[in-house]
Amino acid sequence: MVGKTGERALSLATRKRLYATRRTLPLSVQSETGLRFNVHVYFKDPLVAKNNPAAAIDTEFEVPWEPGIGDGPTSARFAVVDFDASSGALQKPARWDAGKSTFFGPNDVDLNTARGRKLAQFRQVSVWATVQHTLDFFEGGFGLGRRIEWGFAGNRLLLIPTAGYGENAYYDRASKSLQFYWFVGPSGRVNTCESSDIVNHEFGHAVLDGLRPHYFESVLTQTAAFHEFMGDLTALLMAFRNNAFRKAVVAQSKGDLAGADLLASLATQFGDAVSDQPYLRSALNKKTMADIATANAHTASEVMTGAIFDVMVGLLNKRKERQTKRKAKNPSARLESLERLFWYTIQHMQMCAIQPLDFLPPCDVTFRDYALAVMRAEQITNPVDVEGFRQLMFDVFVKRGILDASDRVLLEPVPIFNRKPLGVFHGIDDIAASRGSAYRFLDDNRADLFIPATADLVVADIARARKFTTEGRQQADQIVLQYIWREEVTLSGVRFAQFDGERTAMLCGGTIVLDQNGNLIHWARKPGTQALGASSQEKEETRLGLARRAEFFDVLAQRIKLGLIGEQLPSPLGLLPRAMPPFEVTRKDGLLSFGLSPHFTLNHQDDQELGGRQWQISS
């Protein structure tokens, strides 16, 4: 067996033995030893490939190898099922050749060829390879540093490359799948599964649902918008991590990242065919929180997407300025290439954008929650901050209206870690041992953690993460503990229409992140309304809980007034846009449950006219 370098590759048995330690090996060594293998995919999508041959097919794209890869493709976390509901056609799966570590189409057609790209099996492998690669990105040390679970029972996410005819693609928790549709545009057939942006966007929804499944149980625009931001962030970061594509961006932008339309524009082919615009959405925008007061989730998400892109631009410019100063002091100094600076920037961006996801509250997330998490994560990994990176991030968040000037306390020098005084001590290994152990820690310290004594407390998740700094140094282990409880409330008044007099529940809870020494890294909370005690902190917690309940009532009443809450009608062709309410209502154990529709589409507009919707208003 011959490897990509021309040297004899390792045997399958040796690869299996080496596989368990692959995360400790550089990517180049993984490639040489067969722990990563080559798959051809589009850099962006077929339209970008047509208009920009330099950014057409990525012939150097590699995905992690694992022992259980099989036909489909199928792997430990994904399975491709290529069934078209509009025609009833089930395509033959791509065939895995374990000896050659590659996939083939019918009649042994090599899918890494122009002929192979015309086959359905190319689309199957392309979708699978994209998410396999992206999951590796999230679970790596520069990302979350741990395995990610899905938001449903099971370990494999189904991938449906050609789910049916329609201008759509979405993640659906109920069917445990990513579904990609196809349609005929002005220039011919458009397969949404061939757009790496669209695939990564929808996969971003699946990742966030696995990390924070209770975000579905929200009626807040910002929570839905955060899901959309997560999709766009995933697409942006994965595009920027591609070496060859990054070179094309450098050439196009001439070093000015703010002018890199090729990078910042998402889903070019889809946007051109559906919306008659050069892209579906773009990170190059100037929207602030004031601009989205009445906007839908997709539009609102652009504020955070634009903010993170601004941070990325700022980080690159900081590095360029540092080089300029260095050159001025020492004309003979060896400077890094612009391409290397781009790479350092994306490594930094990956760390400061993805790692803070572990710091988010378990329910009702807001842009402010995320901004605070980003600032805290940067403080932990870069406490001295001689380059002013944290100041840069703060200024961007203030300019966008996500934080305000009063938050400048975040920049003041303070001890990086502290230990919250608790009534009952628990060792960190005991807390992290199981959900039962984590619950005992929470229950023994309810008063100190502002958890009502009568709350039916549930441990939503407990995980241990091993993350890196931008320099590749391992941070202290992080124990991420999420907990929730449900506070029952009555919907009273005509503004709740058909739901007047019904009872529902407001989710409350928090995320506590501790290091391996028991130091408090971060604590994000969503309080309830029960009185906790007489101290100023306890009174403030209750006040914030009352404000949350008032906002919940106001937002829910507005959703009801606009007719945005409904029940799905099933369709043999999947979840069609006109059959999808933006918010759903279900009933369980005598309580109503309101929340986001458990699927996320590319072009769902929840602030447009609703006439002709095929879903029913609950009664």
pLDDT at 11 over 90: no
Q: Using an 8 Å Cβ cutoff, are 389 and 378 in contact?
A: yes
Cis peptide before 73 (omega within 30 of 0): yes
The residue behind tokens 């209206």 is 401
Helix locations, 140-267, DSSP H? 196-211, 221-241, 243-253, 261-264
Rounded CA-CA distance 476/458 in Å is 27
Rounded CA-CA distance 487/502 in Å is 14
In the structure encoding, which two tokens stand for residue 570, read together? 């099933």
Q: Which segments of 45-180 are extended strands (E)?
A: 57-58, 62-64, 78-80, 83-84, 89-90, 95-97, 102-104, 157-160, 169-172, 177-180
Instruction: Enter the DSSP assignment of 382.
Output: -
Q: Given phi > 0 = left and psi -120 to 50 = alpha, else beta, which region is 7? A: beta
pLDDT digits (tens, 9 = 90+) for 119-176: 999 999 999 999 999 999 999 999 999 999 999 999 999 999 999 998 888 899 989 9
pLDDT digits (tens, 9 = 90+) for 27-86: 888 888 889 999 998 877 777 667 766 667 888 889 999 999 999 999 999 999 999 998
pLDDT at 616 over 80: no
Neighbouring-strand partners of residue 484: 458, 509
Least trusted range by pLDDT, from 341-350, 377-386, 420-429, 607-616: 607-616
Give 615's pLDDT tier (boundaries 50, 70, 90). Answer: very low
Q: Using an 8 Å Cβ cutoff, are 618 and 566 in contact?
A: yes
pLDDT at 295 over 90: no
Give 21's pLDDT tier (boundaries 50, 70, 90). Answer: confident
Least trusted range by pLDDT, from 168-177, 233-242, 388-397: 233-242
- AA letter at 396: V
Q: Using an 8 Å Cβ cutoff, are 19 and 35 in contact?
A: yes
Rounded CA-CA distance 578/612 in Å is 8
Predicted confidence at residue 609, as pLDDT, reads 35
Spatial neighbors of 388 by CB under 8 A, at least 6 apart, are 318
Helix or strand (DSSP H, E) at 326 = helix 297-329
Q: Residue 138 CB: number of other CB atoms within 10 A?
A: 24
Predicted confidence at residue 260, as pLDDT, reads 59
What does the angle CA 43 – CA 341 – CA 35 come to, to the nearest 5 degrees? 50
Q: Which segments of 14-168 are extended strands (E)?
A: 36-38, 41-42, 57-58, 62-64, 78-80, 83-84, 89-90, 95-97, 102-104, 157-160
**What's the N-to-C CA distance of the chain in angstroms?**
65
Q: Residue 98 CB: number of other CB atoms within 10 A?
A: 11
Predicted confidence at residue 214, as pLDDT, reads 96
Rounded CA-CA distance 560/607 in Å is 13
Query: What is the DSSP annotation of 263-287?
Result: HHEE-HHHHHHHTSSS-SEES----
Determine the angle formed by the axes of helices 297-329 and 367-381, rounding to 10 degrees.
30
Instruction: Of 144, 167, 304, 166, give the one whose Cα is nearest residue 224.
Output: 304
pLDDT at 322 over 50: yes
pLDDT digits (tens, 9 = 90+) for 247-261: 777 776 666 766 656
Q: Residue 31 CB: number of other CB atoms within 10 A?
A: 19
- AA letter at 611: G
**Mean pLDDT (whole number) for 461-489:** 93
Rounded CA-CA distance 518/430 in Å is 11
Q: Using an 8 Å Cβ cutoff, are 48 and 55 in contact?
A: yes
Averaged pLDDT of the chain: 86
Spatial neighbors of 613 by CB under 8 A, at least 6 apart, are 563, 566, 578, 579, 581
